[in-house]
Amino acid sequence: MLNVPDTRQSELAARLSNGQQIVAADAAKEYGVSVDTIRRDILALEADGKAQRVRGGAVPMAPPAAPLHIRLTEGAPLRQSLIKAAVEEVGDAQTLLVDGGRTTLCVVENLSAQEGRLVITPSPWVAITCQSKGIAVFLLGGMLRPQGGIATGEVALNRVAGVSADIAILGACGLDKRFGLSSDDHDEAQMKQAMHEAAKRTIVVTEGSKVGRRARHRTLALAEIDAVISDATAEAMSALKATSTKLVIEP
């Protein structure tokens, strides 16, 4: 039964859905078939939106996230150790460029309102949170995208190009060693790139479920990121350790 394509593909799809990568040579040996056969299985899974082909195999395909306003009410609570590690990484930086999304919003909720601190953000949710905490905020305008809840487009990009920040704090839809940071939405990917370019350092804060996955639009190479803060397992993060990126793993 193991050599029946439907059975193999179903098992391979289950592994991908659990965040595991598929190495074609290893899978071929396990199932007693050729590497070309496994490659055809991967092609079939990719056509169904269940896999992302890479050299030598496949990685999980990150499904598009629900709109932010839905995730804010339905998502499971974030680990406080993850948020604490992110706040410590930010330290006493004065000028912050803060992305939208549930994770970065939670980081802002735990930031101190130190004297002279300014948050620049394309997210109205982040801006309102800053005001409630007494943190000075500059809101970047533009067309509001539903997935990450951030302003995008020419107006927002032009405004980012006119600022300078100590740190950019970005969320992730996917984070993979070869594909880097990725986003579900093309316009949001462009905005994150612009925020990275406007900051001296770039920090990515992400839940473990995003590590090892690829969203639709490549946003930044892993080498462009100064620090990754995640509650992913050490095994999931091990593939990233060969890079120059600083990793903060929070169990």
> 41: domain CATH number?
1.10.10.10
193 confidence band (pLDDT: 50, 70, 90): very high
The answer on 152 and 103 residing in a single domain is yes
Q: What's the mean per-residue pLDDT of the chain?
A: 85
| Per-residue model confidence as pLDDT tens digits over 32-90 | 899 999 999 898 887 776 787 877 888 776 666 655 555 556 666 678 888 999 999 99
Tell me what percent of the residues of the chain surpass a pLDDT of 90: 42
What is the side-by-side order of every strand in the sheet holding 217-220?
A: 174-176, 180-183, 217-220
How far, in Å, CA of 220 to CA of 180, rounded?
6
| Per-residue model confidence as pLDDT tens digits over 106-137 | 999 999 989 999 999 999 999 999 999 999 99
Buried-exposed string 207-229: b where 16+ CB fall within 10 A, e elsewhere: bbbbbbbbbbbbbbebebbbbbb
The residue range of the domain holding 36 is: 5-60
The answer on 99 and 82 residing in a single domain is yes
The answer on 45 and 72 residing in a single domain is no
The answer on 159 and 121 residing in a single domain is yes
Q: Are strands 136-139 and 199-206 parallel, antiparallel or unpaired?
A: unpaired
CA 108 to the chain's CA centroid: 17
The answer on 197 and 98 residing in a single domain is yes
The answer on 125 and 166 residing in a single domain is yes
The answer on 126 and 13 residing in a single domain is no
156 confidence band (pLDDT: 50, 70, 90): very high
The answer on 176 and 52 residing in a single domain is no
The answer on 225 and 182 residing in a single domain is yes
The answer on 20 and 96 residing in a single domain is no
234-237: long-range contacts at Cβ-Cβ below 8 A with a sequence spacing of 24 or more?
A: 236/19, 236/208, 236/211, 236/212, 237/211
Residue (of 231, 110, 89, 222) closest to 166 by Cα position? 89
pTM for the whole thing? 0.73
Query: With 80 as the cut, is the pLDDT of residue 243 above it?
Result: no
What pLDDT shows up at residue 6? Answer: 85
Other C-beta atoms closer than 10 Å to the C-beta of 94 total: 12
The answer on 107 and 31 residing in a single domain is no
Position of tokens 């690829």?
A: 214
1 confidence band (pLDDT: 50, 70, 90): very low
Q: How many domains does the chain fold into?
A: 2
How much is the average pLDDT of 210-216? 83
The answer on 218 and 180 residing in a single domain is yes
Which of 43, 60, 77 delimits the end of a domain?
Answer: 60
